[in-house]
Amino acid sequence: MHGRGYAVSVGARDRRVKVVASVAGGYDIGGTFQQFLGVDGFAAYFRRINDLVQREYETGEVQYIPTIAHGLSAEVPVAVMPNDEAYSYYDRTHRDHAPAWSDKMTAASLGPYFIYNAVAHAPLVAPTPLLIVHGTRDLFLLPEYAQAAYTAARGPKQLVWIETHNHIEIYDQDPYVSQAADAVVAFLDRHLP
């Protein structure tokens, strides 16, 4: 899930990393949800998560939530990725390629997920070269956060925009995957000995 943003954090912490390349990353998950739900809506959403975590603390029973859902509703008040695009992609790949994948996560795992912010880590990557590849039309990992991470980064850096229609095209559909791979390979060729 949105792990490409975590590559920025690894590059910020570990000087053994020689080059960082992030494709379609989630750079500010809490900020993204806040934009989708509004400040008050996100606060209420986070309260529901905290209530589940408190229930787990009080009862000792792990509280699970859906990883994917078509959207939020009375029946599904909390989900990690509550949108049709994520649902269709992960449901399909779960059935076709990863039958052991769990469609549930612990409610306690959402707190760290929502406070994660790679934009704050981006300046710390330097002097390691940083490549950010992102889709121009990504409704779930917003392009403005990819731009913010790039803008915050210091040292050698490059931002490559791929003309997309959604987030998941860059995962497994050509020409988007090939464009992203070509950008990464070219960057690695330039920056690795």
Q: What is the overall mean pLDDT for the chain?
A: 92
Alpha carbon distance 134, 161 (integer Å): 5
Domains and CATH numbers, the chain: 1-28+117-193 (3.40.50.1820), 29-115 (no CATH)
- pLDDT digit string (tens) for 143-165? 999 999 999 999 999 999 999 99
pTM for the model: 0.89
Sole residue written with tokens 């859906």: 66
The predicted model gives 169-181 an average pLDDT of: 93
Alpha carbon distance 151, 129 (integer Å): 14
CB atoms within 10 A of CB 192: 9
- Reduced to 3 states (helix: H, G, I; strand: E, B; else coil), residue 183 is helix
